[in-house]
Structure 1
């Protein structure tokens, strides 16, 4: 039977990095569509900038959401393995 090893320190570092990435992704997109639209008086360019801003905001927002979800999943994995290790240790002590 193979041994199972989970590097919880690595999971912790990955989770920490993902938690830091989410706000970094969101910050530049806040108000991007409005800013882009007010950047020029040329109607066609303003519409193109606004559309780009909306799409960029949507795409980056999705990445930020996925990043946050992945960080939560890593926390759940860590918690599950920590609990399994506690239970296994307790079983050997009995």
Structure 2
């Protein structure tokens, strides 16, 4: 290995955090979708509550998609870093052999 280092726990922590966010967002979206707006009574208020739940449900779904995308990007960064680290180590070995 070369002197280039990056603690893998950073990537694991980020993946865990973003995965947790995605799971919580999905649970919230399901809760909003299942909310009974009729308990508020008045028909216009019921409609407003349902509209709110629909809009927030869509937004939460989009946030969940973005957090899943972030996890994929973190994986890509980690894989790329590992490859670069190995390439650097190999180039240092080759340079030492060439002396």
**Length-normalised TM-score, structure 2:** 0.76
- 1:56 is matched with 56
Given the superposition, is the C-alpha separation of residues 76 and 26 from structure 1 closer, same or farther in structure 2, using an over 3 Å criterion? same
Given the superposition, is the C-alpha separation of residues 34 and 21 from structure 1 closer, same or farther in structure 2, using an over 3 Å criterion? closer
| Residue ranges of structure 1 left out of the alignment (5+ in a row) | none
- Structure 1, 55-64 or 28-37: larger mean CA deviation: 28-37
- 2:92 is matched with 92
- 1:80 is matched with 80
Counterparts of 2:86 and 2:40 in 1: how far apart (Å)? 62
Given the superposition, is the C-alpha separation of residues 21 and 34 from structure 1 closer, same or farther in structure 2, using an over 3 Å criterion? closer
**Length-normalised TM-score, structure 1:** 0.79
1:83 CA displacement? 1.0
Alignment RMSD: 2.2
| Residue ranges of structure 2 left out of the alignment (5+ in a row) | 95-99
Counterparts of 1:91 and 1:4 in 2: how far apart (Å)? 13
**Conserved? CA contact 1:36–1:53, under 8 Å:** no
Encode CA deviations 1:4-53: one digit per residue, 9 max, x unaligned.
Answer: 65443212211121112101111021152452434345221111011000
Aligned length: 92
Counterparts of 2:7 and 2:66 in 1: how far apart (Å)? 22
Counterparts of 1:86 and 1:4 in 2: how far apart (Å)? 10
